[in-house]
Structure 1
């Protein structure tokens, strides 16, 4: 006699094993037989949500629209050390651009790629368009809201016949009074359908007059009178005591750009229940409002309630790193490793810091630790090759780069590997090999500014002045935040007698790196020339 497993139990088993599509299919069959089965409905809702779930704490991409049309800026000229939008000034003895390369926004390149660390906050629309979305694509983020819309349309693939829940016909007032169903429904609407407006109406607890105010002034929140009634009913049912719903309302406000309202909801949720995620969400709000000091104080407040919490320590280290306070960031990353000695981000950032402070042997130990942990990619072998080269372990250098070559995922990574091999060739004096490597780097990535700069220097050594000048101008246009192309172009222009171009390039070099002594000397000499004229 064959014994069959209960379909709902089997679906739940698939859900726990992350076989979400099989779970959804079984729940669909159950609902076809009994459309009013709330357990199957709730489980399918959770399965569909998990398919497209994105951790709101980590993912925070700022699009061009959000950056250029930001209405929340208060102080255009903030005090040094109080803003994430100002280029770092080497606070606390941090490295200069002469030692550690900088991003377009003036921050040092970190040892770990995180969401939105590539984009920063460019000052002009031209820079914003040039800035790639992430490390793996060159397309800029046009708008964060556009990403949510695309996620909503992509979620339709989970059910080709149409949406699982018809939100327009849903009685949200009825579901808001059922705690078990309302939470799964909220997450489905928020993550799967990405309909923030309906989510805000459905579940959360805000005043009628506040909603009416937003209806008048914000087109994103044009709710009907029925929405006000639904919000009032949900408020009466929750009695303002459920911290989870307040966090969800804060997330909705955050997506809609209402950061001060999100702050109020997260603060209220913390008053009801201390949770690590709430601290992280609230810190995101303060970082978007360009208040890093407030975010740091909030993280430290969270550490008082959750001593040694890794995510809070990591948040503090990230803010210090973005403010160019590298020594403090390193100390907090070390605290992270005391709690979790397998934390990849902390190991990578500490290794990167040791590399840029002339300690390649110690950096090599951290990168080898990552290799032992199973991190196996092109970037790691690239870093291993550079550490071996600067630690004078030449037998391991080229083998590391060869391994990196076998693991490249795109042309940009291939270009970086060839550029580093060319850098090694310059170090050992083989300029012919270096020239070929830089050419190969440009063949894979025609926008590689560092390769253009180094090629210009090699061309100048061969006496090809015009070719060298063209390469330097290209490098300066591709990477205006780098001081090297501007400085080299200034020196070259001065040698050929073009003092005006030399002075202009030297000024751009000074803007990119104000503490550069050689640039200051060139400017001083040029001003003396102009004074004599």
Structure 2
């Protein structure tokens, strides 16, 4: 007769080995026999939470609703270098937009896609509505869509009979008096059910029960306020928690609050205090580098990323960002070394091979170009990724002088992604070379409407309009180009030429 393991011990073993579904099933069987078994109840709650747990520090997504309908009063005309929202007219510390593409918010494209950088920061409601959706939903992305939608519906998936805990019938005041049960219950409500209001009520009651001395509950209160958009209240809670317990997480959470309130200099000061307490801490160094990158201080950002690599030489974000910076500062051979390092570390995706192909082309290692792009195409997970690969192949074709191949590549880009503004612009340039003026004008107008932050479609349209004698349209487009890229010499020359012409008239 074989020995049977104690069910609770078996469930705990499953939990420790991260087999959460088996852990839940074992706990369910225990609870069917003993409905008031608090240990099994707590363990099942923790297992359900771990299934959908996302670290709140790293993942931060500011949706269009938060950007456009934000009621927090922020100075409309911030002093230069003090705001993340006033990046468009700023002088670039590094490659200009002529070399390094910029996002909709006017910042150079980062080497590492973070959730907060995916959707950009639209300037008007019209731009916001046109911004691509990333949450598999028809409405513009908000912090209630995407990840949080999946978290909120997780309760329906885990138990066919309904949610494991009926929140509406819970006596939160009773649970708040049992610290260990309350903590697991809070994480379940916050992460699994995504019910921030009930989580906030429980955290407030538990904080009161602990005589306002438990740093953990204050941190949870701050997280709830942050999720609800009450940033000043979140700031108070995180600062209060910091007086009880000095932790890296506290500095990172408080930094997130300041960034959301558009106070990057305050966040940098806070992180410097954090680095004094925790010297060489990688997560704080990364946070500082991200802020410098968002403020267009590319040189400072690269220095901090290099400092990160001295402490952790497998940090993917730092390697990718430094590699991207070397590529755009005309050092593709060095960028190639960084991307090869990522490949050795086991990163194996479409974006990496796409970057390797471009680095090989600009470093004149022609034997590796096509194999890298072929691998990128085979690894592409969606049409947008396929479009980017074909767009880069179009650049390679232009570089070797095969304009027919380039034309086909840009067409394939648009067949995969109909909103690819750069491909419209490049196609228009190829059409201009064939003297197809009307097609070129139509393509350039499409490109400039899709990406008003890019200067290339505007200046190309200005030159084309000037060439065919439409001086008014040329002047308007040139002004838009100057707004997008103030230091562009050819734009300034064209505006001056048109002004002289208008003066003569």
Moved more, 396-405 or 289-298: 396-405
8 Å CA contact 2:154, 2:193 repeated in 1: no
> Residue by residue, what CA displacement relative to the aligned partner does 1:160-198 show, whole Å, maximum 9, x if unpaired?
101111222212112111111110011011111111111
Structure 2 equivalent of residue 98 of structure 1: 98
User: Do residues 157 (structure 1) and 157 (structure 2) align?
Assistant: yes
Within a 5 Å distance, the mapping from 1:168-183 to structure 2 comes to 168-183=168-183
Greater displacement, 353-362 / 116-125? 116-125
Equivalent residue, structure 2, for 1:388: 360
Deviations 1:45-102 (A, max 9, x none): 0011111212111222122221111111320010111001012556573221011000
Cα-Cα RMSD: 1.5
Q: Secondary structure at the match of 2:14?
A: helix
In structure 1, list runs of 5 or more residues that go unmatched.
205-230
Partner of 1:292: 264
1:261 partnered with 2:260: no
| Cα distance in structure 2, aligned partners of 1:99 and 1:34 | 67
Asked if 2 retains the 8 angstrom alpha-carbon contact of 1:118 and 1:131, the reply is no
Secondary structure of the residue that 2:165 maps to in structure 1? coil
In the TM superposition, what is the alpha-carbon distance from 1:132 to its structure 2 partner?
2.7
What residue number does 1:196 align with?
196
Partner of 1:87: 87
Can you list the C-alpha shifts for 1:481-518, whole angstroms capped at 9, x where unaligned?
Answer: 11001000000000000001101110110111011010
Structure 1 residues 353 and 14: alpha-carbon distance in aligned structure 2, compared to 1, 3 A threshold: same
Does residue 317 in structure 1 map to residue 316 in structure 2? no
Q: Which residue of 1 aligns with 2:370?
A: 398
Partners of 1:92 and 1:386 in 2: how far apart? 24
Query: Does the 8 Å CA contact 1:422/1:435 hold for their aligned counterparts?
Result: yes
SS of the residue corresponding to residue 116 of structure 1 reads helix
The question of whether the paired residues in 1 share the 8 Å contact of 2:350 and 2:380 is answered with yes
Q: Note the C-alpha offset of 1:530.
A: 0.9
| Count of residue correspondences | 504
CA distance in 2, matches of 1:303, 1:322: 20
Question: Residue 481 and residue 88 in structure 1: after superposition, are their counterparts in 2 closer, same or farther (change >3 A)?
Answer: closer
C-alpha distance after superposition, 1:372-431 (max 9, x if no partner): 001001111110111111111111111111111111111111111111111011111111
Q: Distance in 2 between matches of 1:326 and 1:130?
A: 29
Query: Do the aligned partners of residues 92 and 490 (structure 1) sit closer, same or farther apart at CA in structure 2, a change above 3 Å counting?
Result: closer
The equivalent residue for 1:144 is 143
Instruction: Give the secondary-structure state (helix, strand or coil) at the position aligned to 2:116.
Output: coil
Tell me: CA distance 1:425–1:376, structure 2 relative to 1, closer, same or farther (3 Å): same
Q: 3-state DSSP class of the match of 1:487?
A: helix
Deviation by residue 1:13-46 (Cα, 9 ceiling, x = unmatched): 1111111111101100000100111110000000
Match of 1:371 in 2: 343
| Partner secondary structure for residue 331 of structure 1 | helix
SS of 1:459 mapped into structure 2: helix
Q: Which runs of 5 or more structure 2 residues have no equivalent in the other structure?
A: none
Give deviations 1:216-245, integer Å, cap 9, x for gaps.
Answer: xxxxxxxxxxxxxxx3xx455211111000
Identify the residue that residue 274 of structure 2 maps to in structure 1.
Answer: 302
Shift of 1:448: 1.2
Cα contact 1:118–1:133 (8 A) shared by 2: no
2:84 matched to 1:113?
no
Q: Distance in 1 between matches of 2:258 and 2:214?
A: 23
